[in-house]
Amino acid sequence: MSFKRSIPILLCFLVLIFQSCKFEDDQANFRFVPLQIVSADLPESFTLNETYEIRVTYVRPSGCFFFEGFDITDEATTTRNVVAIGSEFYQESCTQAVEELETSFNFIVLYEGTYLFRFWNGEDENGIDQYIEIDVPVN
Protein backbone atom coordinates (compact mmCIF):
# COMPACT_ATOMS: atom_id res chain seq x y z
CA MET A 1 0.00 0.00 0.00
CA SER A 2 1.39 3.38 -0.93
CA PHE A 3 1.70 6.31 1.41
CA LYS A 4 -0.77 8.39 -0.65
CA ARG A 5 -3.47 5.74 -0.25
CA SER A 6 -2.92 5.43 3.50
CA ILE A 7 -3.47 9.16 4.19
CA PRO A 8 -7.29 9.04 3.71
CA ILE A 9 -7.50 5.96 5.92
CA LEU A 10 -5.40 7.66 8.59
CA LEU A 11 -7.57 10.80 8.42
CA CYS A 12 -10.76 8.75 8.82
CA PHE A 13 -9.23 6.97 11.79
CA LEU A 14 -8.27 10.29 13.45
CA VAL A 15 -11.77 11.72 12.87
CA LEU A 16 -13.31 8.67 14.55
CA ILE A 17 -10.97 8.98 17.53
CA PHE A 18 -11.67 12.69 18.06
CA GLN A 19 -15.41 12.21 17.52
CA SER A 20 -15.50 9.64 20.32
CA CYS A 21 -13.93 12.13 22.78
CA LYS A 22 -17.00 14.35 23.02
CA PHE A 23 -18.09 15.41 26.47
CA GLU A 24 -21.76 14.65 27.01
CA ASP A 25 -22.07 17.15 29.86
CA ASP A 26 -20.25 20.41 29.29
CA GLN A 27 -21.95 22.08 32.27
CA ALA A 28 -19.68 23.41 35.00
CA ASN A 29 -19.77 21.21 38.09
CA PHE A 30 -18.62 23.93 40.49
CA ARG A 31 -18.78 27.65 41.16
CA PHE A 32 -16.69 30.08 43.17
CA VAL A 33 -18.35 31.48 46.29
CA PRO A 34 -17.36 33.75 49.17
CA LEU A 35 -16.87 31.96 52.50
CA GLN A 36 -17.89 33.65 55.73
CA ILE A 37 -14.95 34.84 57.85
CA VAL A 38 -15.80 34.61 61.56
CA SER A 39 -12.52 35.85 63.10
CA ALA A 40 -9.07 37.14 62.27
CA ASP A 41 -5.91 37.27 64.35
CA LEU A 42 -3.80 40.38 63.75
CA PRO A 43 -1.02 41.93 65.82
CA GLU A 44 -1.64 44.99 68.02
CA SER A 45 0.57 47.05 65.69
CA PHE A 46 2.69 46.77 62.55
CA THR A 47 6.24 47.85 61.75
CA LEU A 48 6.85 49.43 58.35
CA ASN A 49 8.31 47.07 55.69
CA GLU A 50 7.75 43.95 57.82
CA THR A 51 5.78 40.86 56.77
CA TYR A 52 3.07 39.44 59.02
CA GLU A 53 1.13 36.19 58.94
CA ILE A 54 -2.56 36.96 59.37
CA ARG A 55 -4.62 34.01 60.61
CA VAL A 56 -8.26 33.80 59.57
CA THR A 57 -11.08 31.48 60.65
CA TYR A 58 -13.76 30.85 58.02
CA VAL A 59 -16.90 28.72 57.76
CA ARG A 60 -17.08 25.72 55.45
CA PRO A 61 -20.86 25.24 54.99
CA SER A 62 -20.62 21.57 53.90
CA GLY A 63 -18.25 19.02 52.44
CA CYS A 64 -19.02 20.36 48.95
CA PHE A 65 -17.06 23.57 49.67
CA PHE A 66 -13.27 23.86 49.40
CA PHE A 67 -11.07 26.83 50.29
CA GLU A 68 -9.30 28.28 47.24
CA GLY A 69 -7.60 31.42 48.58
CA PHE A 70 -8.23 35.05 49.40
CA ASP A 71 -9.43 37.98 47.35
CA ILE A 72 -7.75 41.00 48.95
CA THR A 73 -8.61 44.36 47.43
CA ASP A 74 -7.38 47.87 48.20
CA GLU A 75 -10.29 50.16 48.95
CA ALA A 76 -7.93 52.98 49.93
CA THR A 77 -4.19 53.28 50.58
CA THR A 78 -4.41 51.49 53.93
CA THR A 79 -7.84 49.83 53.71
CA ARG A 80 -8.00 46.16 52.71
CA ASN A 81 -11.16 44.18 52.00
CA VAL A 82 -10.50 40.48 52.59
CA VAL A 83 -12.80 37.76 51.24
CA ALA A 84 -12.17 34.03 51.63
CA ILE A 85 -12.95 32.34 48.31
CA GLY A 86 -14.17 28.79 48.06
CA SER A 87 -15.39 26.46 45.35
CA GLU A 88 -18.75 24.74 45.68
CA PHE A 89 -19.12 21.46 43.81
CA TYR A 90 -22.48 20.33 42.44
CA GLN A 91 -23.74 16.78 42.04
CA GLU A 92 -21.46 15.46 44.74
CA SER A 93 -22.51 13.53 47.80
CA CYS A 94 -21.18 15.71 50.58
CA THR A 95 -21.24 15.78 54.32
CA GLN A 96 -23.63 18.41 55.67
CA ALA A 97 -21.41 19.23 58.65
CA VAL A 98 -20.60 22.92 59.05
CA GLU A 99 -16.94 23.43 59.99
CA GLU A 100 -14.86 26.37 61.12
CA LEU A 101 -11.39 26.09 59.62
CA GLU A 102 -8.29 28.24 59.95
CA THR A 103 -5.89 29.43 57.29
CA SER A 104 -3.56 32.40 56.81
CA PHE A 105 -2.00 34.82 54.37
CA ASN A 106 1.13 36.96 54.50
CA PHE A 107 0.81 40.73 54.55
CA ILE A 108 3.62 43.23 53.88
CA VAL A 109 3.28 46.65 55.53
CA LEU A 110 4.08 49.26 52.88
CA TYR A 111 2.47 52.44 54.22
CA GLU A 112 2.53 54.45 57.42
CA GLY A 113 -0.64 55.28 59.29
CA THR A 114 -3.31 52.84 60.40
CA TYR A 115 -4.47 49.89 58.32
CA LEU A 116 -8.16 49.03 58.28
CA PHE A 117 -8.87 45.38 57.51
CA ARG A 118 -12.44 44.56 56.51
CA PHE A 119 -13.07 40.78 56.61
CA TRP A 120 -16.20 39.67 54.75
CA ASN A 121 -18.64 38.15 57.26
CA GLY A 122 -21.64 37.45 55.03
CA GLU A 123 -24.75 39.34 54.06
CA ASP A 124 -27.57 40.68 56.20
CA GLU A 125 -31.26 39.93 55.52
CA ASN A 126 -31.31 42.70 52.88
CA GLY A 127 -28.32 41.31 50.97
CA ILE A 128 -25.92 44.00 52.25
CA ASP A 129 -22.34 42.83 52.79
CA GLN A 130 -21.23 42.71 56.43
CA TYR A 131 -17.61 43.01 57.57
CA ILE A 132 -15.50 42.44 60.66
CA GLU A 133 -13.37 45.59 60.86
CA ILE A 134 -9.98 45.64 62.59
CA ASP A 135 -7.65 48.66 62.80
CA VAL A 136 -3.90 48.07 63.12
CA PRO A 137 -1.59 51.10 63.56
CA VAL A 138 1.89 51.21 62.03
CA ASN A 139 4.66 52.16 64.48
Q: What letter represents residue 92's amino acid?
A: E
Residue of 29, 13, 14 lying closest to 66 (CA atoms): 29
Backbone angles phi, psi at 27, to 5 degrees: -80, 145
| Count of positions (residues) in the chain | 139
Q: pLDDT (tens digit, 0 to 9) for every residue of the chain, 139 residues total? A: 555 555 656 555 555 555 544 555 566 789 999 999 999 999 999 999 999 999 999 999 999 999 999 999 999 999 999 999 999 998 768 888 899 999 999 999 999 999 999 999 999 999 999 999 999 999 9
Domain range for 68: 25-137
Residue 37 lies inside a defined structural domain of this protein: yes
Residue 79 lies inside a defined structural domain of this protein: yes
Exposed (0-12), middle (13-18) or buried (19+): which is 134, by Cβ within 10 Å? middle
Residue 2 lies inside a defined structural domain of this protein: no
pTM over 0.75: yes
Instruction: Tell me how many domains the chain contains.
Output: 1
